[in-house]
Structure 1
Amino acid sequence: MAKKKNITEMKSLSVFNQDDDQTNAHKIKCRVLIVCEGLKTEPNYFKSFHMMKNSGGLVFEITNDGGGINTTQVVQKAVELRNKAISNNKPYDVTWVVFDKDSFDADKFDNAIKMAKSNDIRCAWSNEAFELWYIYHFENRITSMPRTEYQNRITTLVRQKLKGKRSKNTNFVYTKNNPEMRSILKECGCDEKLAIRWAKKQSETFGNNSFHLHNPCTKVYELVSLLRGEDADFNEFIKSKMTGKK
């Protein structure tokens, strides 16, 4: 039996000029497609951007569907959905894929990233796992660690931050698929912008295309920046599109 597909589709995304007063800012509708490898962890996290304030004024609807596919299949599915949308005259403004290195073969992982780039699809990959993005909310991680240790590390970091506070999460134990992770990170006082800065700085230490060797590394910060309304190039693209300037 074929594995079910996991797709996160984001629609009606509104981008604000970050210099504008968001109360009176002009909303610009756009369409973003995100195709995930994971069943729930990544979709649940990205879904949180429409449920919380201070997300750069972004407003969108999300539909989840399916379950686990591998790195190459994620890119292939993204290409298929992107092209289908174009054929239906409802093109996406940008398409993203989200997947991890995990235990996938090094060549397949590297080739999936190259395949995404060659098809003009943006790639929020992580080596070794998506949870590395959570860790960057607490510490500037520059040394690798087995993905099997991510759960214990996140559990420890959250408990340290919430120790002595009145919170239902004081005895927190990290589990995949937790739909409240972004809320928990905020409760811990984590600075999302600092996490972006740390992840970006670490990513820039690698200068070759052997992506399986870029460890630790996550590109999730790039997608988060877009969803926060802080991807300047994307915002300008949308504005120029709306005004007819290419």
Structure 2
Amino acid sequence: MARHLPGKKKKREKRLPEPSSFLIATEGKSTEVNYFKGFKDEINARFKNSIQSYEIEIKGIGKETLRVIEDIEEYSRKLPILYENIWAVFDKDDFPQDDFDNAINKAGEMGMEVAWSNQCFELWYLLHFSYSQSALHRDDISEKLDF
């Protein structure tokens, strides 16, 4: 029988969400991370002399949709702060529809927000710099972006 010694009970510390904090976890490790890092840099530059502060962490997971959600859950448990806003960002790709839907549903159950691109994230880059009304396959986008 286990004995509990007075004062030795380990209490789990309750974490409160850090106001105006964001964790953005992406499927890719470079393109998406660089894209959101640009926003982070702009926000930090714009509000550097403001009372309002923003904690923004961007993490490239490098795994498919459902693993992104699972890794965010595991990663955020180990962090010293609890993020107020958690976003999972991934491509629709050619995954089975059930995998895609399950990832979105699981993220919702965990209180995460989700953003996805149809085809691939690089299309977002292209549309920032070039007007296009035609359908583009993911293989043609890198050529247009000169990657």
In 1, Cα distance between the equivalents of 2:124 and 2:138? 12
Unaligned runs of 5+ residues in structure 1 are 1-27, 155-172, 176-246
Unaligned runs of 5+ residues in structure 2 are 1-17, 48-52
2:111 corresponding residue in structure 1: 120
Give RMSD over aligned pairs: 3.0
**Residues 33 and 92, structure 1, Cα contact 8 Å, conserved in 2:** yes
Report the Cα offset of residue 130 of structure 1. 0.4
Structure 1 residue 99 and structure 2 residue 85: aligned? Answer: no
In 2, Cα distance between the equivalents of 1:140 and 1:111? 33
In 2, Cα distance between the equivalents of 1:53 and 1:119? 27
Bigger fraction of residues in strand: 2
**Alignment partner for residue 135 of structure 2, among 125, 130, 144?**
144
In 2, Cα distance between the equivalents of 1:142 and 1:113? 28
2:63 corresponding residue in structure 1: 69
Percentage of pairs with the same residue = 36
The number of equivalent residue pairs is 125
Residues 144 and 49 of structure 1: is their aligned pair in 2 closer, same or farther, counting only changes over 3 Å? same
Letter in 1 for 2:95: F
Report the Cα offset of residue 110 of structure 1. 2.4
TM-score if structure 1 supplies the norm length?
A: 0.43
Superposed CA deviations along residues 203-241 of structure 1, whole A, max 9, x for unmatched, are: xxxxxxxxxxxxxxxxxxxxxxxxxxxxxxxxxxxxxxx
Letter in 1 for 2:97: A
TM-score if structure 2 supplies the norm length?
A: 0.67
Flag the structure with larger Rg.
2
Letter in 2 for 1:73: R
